[in-house]
Amino acid sequence: MEIATLLVSCPDRKGIVASLAQLLYGHGANIVHSSQHTDELAGMFFQRIRFDLGTLTTDRETLEAEIRETAADFAMQWRLAYAARRHRVAIFCSKQEHCLYDLLIRHRAGELPCTIAMVVSNHSDLEDVARHFDIPFHHAKITPETKVFQETATLDLLRSANIDLIVLARYMQILSPKFVAQYPSRIINIHHSFLPAFIGANPYRQAYERGVKLIGATSHYVTADLDQGPIIEQETIRCTHGDSVDDLVRKGREVETRVLAAAVRLHLQDRILVHANKTVVFH
pLDDT for 231-258, tens place per residue? Answer: 999 999 999 999 999 998 999 999 999 9
Q: Are 189 and 219 in contact (CB under 8 A)?
A: yes
* CATH fold of the domain at 87-281: Rossmann fold (3.40.50)
Name the CATH code of domain 3-82 (choices 3.40.50.300, 3.30.70.260, 3.40.50.720, 3.30.479.30). 3.30.70.260
3-state SS of 214-275 is EEEEEEEECCCCCCCCCEEEEEEEECCCCCCHHHHHHHHHHHHHHHHHHHHHHHHCCCEEEE
- Average pLDDT (137-150) is 94
Is the pLDDT at 197 greater than 80? The verdict is: no
Strand 30-39's sheet: what is its strand order? 30-39, 44-52, 3-11, 77-82
Answer for the pair 84, 60: CB distance below 8 angstroms, yes or no. no
pLDDT > 70 in the chain, percent:
98
Q: Given this model, what pLDDT does residue 200 score?
A: 65
Concerning whether 227 is annotated as a catalytic residue, the answer is yes
Residue limits of CATH 3.30.70.260 in the chain: 3-82
pTM: 0.95
Between CA 28 and CA 24 the distance in angstroms is 6
**What pLDDT is attached to residue 206?**
83
- In the prediction, which pLDDT does 214 show? 87
Average of per-residue pLDDT across 36-58: 97
User: Once rounded to an integer, what is the mean pLDDT over residues 253-265?
Assistant: 97
pLDDT at 196: 61
Q: Does residue 262 carry a pLDDT above 90?
A: yes
Catalytic residue among 39, 125, 227, 247: 227
| CATH 3.40.50.170 residue window(s) in the chain | 87-281
